[in-house]
A and B are shown apart, each in its own frame.
Chain A
Amino acid sequence: MTSLTAIAVTAAYGPRHVLHECSFALGSGEVVAIVGPNGAGKSTLLRVLAGLLRPTAGRVLLDGEDLAALSRSEVARRIAVVPQLFDTLFPFTVREVVALGRTARLGAFGRASADDLAAVDRAIGELELEALAARRIDRLSGGERQRAVLAMALAQETAVLLLDEPTVHLDPGHQLATLDLLRELGQRRQLAVCAVLHDLNLASAFATRIVAIADGRIFREGTPLEVIKSDLIETVFGNGLEVIARDGHPGVLPRAPHATAGN
């Protein structure tokens, strides 16, 4: 069991406060989605949880240890982060990209051990990238590149997996496929998964728990049914969205234009 906990975290870029006293806990087997409008502080919360941004107040604990006291290499062995942008101009092969996940564990001069090679093979297998392993990453489609970067994070063999809008460059079919895969991998490896998601319907279908952020504060958290309700949606996202439910999963649809015009 692993846990990543933020306690009353406040964070700022220069003088501008982006997060105010956010408290949040993530445990093994969970899949948590962070949702909220643009500029609410979703990505900032993720960066704080990853130890990339030091909070100005409050603490982040990884299994009880203060994240700020751990080196980058120690953090990388326990928390993997899937970046939002994964463009490179260099002709790395897919296998080389996945192997980057082992950076924190390599020996002198970047020598890979048998464990390193096994972890890379396993990640490539889990994301069904065998056929693409020797292909150049800069020649792949967006969806294929996304899978390669996901495999890179899995090769880190961490207990925590953080993702910043993992579906933002994908079409709806690939969005669903990626999130299904994540959920399944999270269960199989007993990972603590937390993803920033823009799409409320995807968050509802994918997450065991949703955290809604607005203006740098955690507005509400709970199961999709507890969070995606008309009062919250209207307060956080404005009145252009209507909450619907199907098979116990809540979702949102845009209201027809004539319906919003009068409001």
Chain B
Amino acid sequence: MRTIGILTVLAVALVVSAAAGILVGAVAIGPSDVFAALFGSNDVNGTIIRELRLPRVLGAALVGGALATAGALLQGLLRNPLADPFVTGTSAGATLAAVAAIVLGLAAPLVPIAAFAGALVTVTLVWRLARLGGGTTVLTVLLAGVVLTSFAGAVVTFLLVSSDRLALQLRAVLGWLQGGVSVISWPELGVAALVVALGLGFALVLAHRVDAYAFGEETAATLGVDPDRTTTAVLGATALLSGAAVALAGLVGFVGLVIPHALRFVIGATHRRLVPASFLAGATALVLADLGARTIIAPAELPIGAITGLIGAPFFLALLVRSRRVVV
């Protein structure tokens, strides 16, 4: 009952934030005009609401939900409360693959697929590195993430500087790299929504098996989980969610880390509850972060990644300090 109550509150919060995200913007549009615009008035307000604000709010919600869900899965699988797509380098791997796809001149629909592939390769690498560390994996994962992120960043810089195609739109690509949902088209949104739905579906089906990893992979096996199949499926779901998020919004940090971590103390550690709660809360958090990004220094805009970094990085540091006894 308590669980349903918390999930309801989170869902209401998401709807309210989304409404705020659509109502508030650089151009003041009254609520009744917004309502009219949603249902087809063809003036400039209609264009702003339907082509700019609505896709942007939905995009932010998808990205936030996907990253928080991926974070919950990764933390459970790696038994590491400091893991998420960003700090493990998974997002950086997806970014590298997406930029490479653009440089190679691949068709736009292939870019999200490249991002997914990049995420899958990186998250698998991180998992293998974490296993080398045996029992104390927390620091290993973070170090692997630092290394992979630096490497991917270096290659991306190389591609940016050496490719004429990207140099021409350097500003747009840089904006994307810093994390932004300012320009999202409806077709892009549709593809991302499908991929995120798939990833979330996997996450919900796998949730109770991820619980069994609480005491390690071997105990998961003795509890009846096939470790190879489950691990592969969880890494795949994580890659789907991270890849979709990166394809939509580039590098958005710390949502995947902070949201599941904070929620555990409210709703408990059981992933059957944590996964849906993380999706809802992550979506809400990023809709609000995007609202902040475009209103704090309006009419100019901050990249959304700057907002999540401003709030998430100190939180991450606090966690690291608090958990030092188990990290080392």
Contacts and interface: CB of A to CB of B under 8 A. Distances in A.
Contacts of B173: none
B215 A83 contact: yes
Nearest to B228: A72
B208 A110 contact: yes
Nearest to A53: B218
A76 to B, nearest CB: 3
A253 interface: no
A110 B3 CA distance: 15
A85 B137 CA distance: 15
B81 A90 contact: yes
A253 to B, nearest CB: 34
Which of B205, B207, B208, B268 is packed against the most chain A CB atoms within 10 Å?
A: B208
Interface in B239-288: 264-265, 268-270, 272
Given A96-B268, A96-B270, A109-B204, A89 B223 contact: no
B135 A104 contact: no
B207 A72 contact: no
B226 A71 contact: yes
A92 B268 contact: yes
Nearest to B211: A100
B225 A72 contact: yes
A112 to B, nearest CB: 9
B207 A110 contact: yes
Contacts of A97: 214
B53 interface: no
Contact of A110 (B81, B135, B272): B272
Contacts of B224: 72-73, 75-77, 103-105
A90 to B, nearest CB: 4
Interface in A55-74: 71-73
Nearest to B80: A89
A100 B212 contact: yes
Nearest to B229: A72
Contacts of B265: 91
Contacts of B216: 83, 85
Which of B79, B80, B222, B326 is packed against the most chain A CB atoms within 10 Å?
A: B222
A142 B87 CA distance: 32
Interface in B195-210: 204-205, 207-209
A92 B213 CA distance: 12
Given A91-B268, A103-B208, A72 B79 contact: no
B323 interface: yes
Contacts of B227: 72
Contacts of B204: 109
Given A88-B215, A89-B79, A97-B214, A79 B222 contact: yes
Contact of B269 (A71, A85, A90): A90
B327 to A, nearest CB: 10
Contacts of A103: 208-209, 211-212, 223-225
A259 interface: no
B219 interface: yes
Given A88-B79, A89-B326, A52 B221 contact: yes
B270 A92 contact: yes
A109 B208 contact: yes
A167 B323 CA distance: 27
Contact of A52 (B135, B218, B225, B272): B218
A22 to B, nearest CB: 20
Contact of B219 (A75, A77, A81, A96): A81
A83 B214 contact: no
Interface in A78-126: 79-81, 83, 85-93, 96-97, 100-101, 103-106, 108-110
5 contacts: A75-B222, A92-B211, A92-B268, A100-B223, A103-B223
Given A72-B226, A90-B264, A100-B214, 16 more contacts: A52-B218, A52-B221, A73-B225, A75-B224, A81-B219, A83-B215, A85-B135, A87-B326, A91-B264, A91-B265, A93-B268, A96-B269, A97-B214, A103-B224, A109-B204, A109-B208
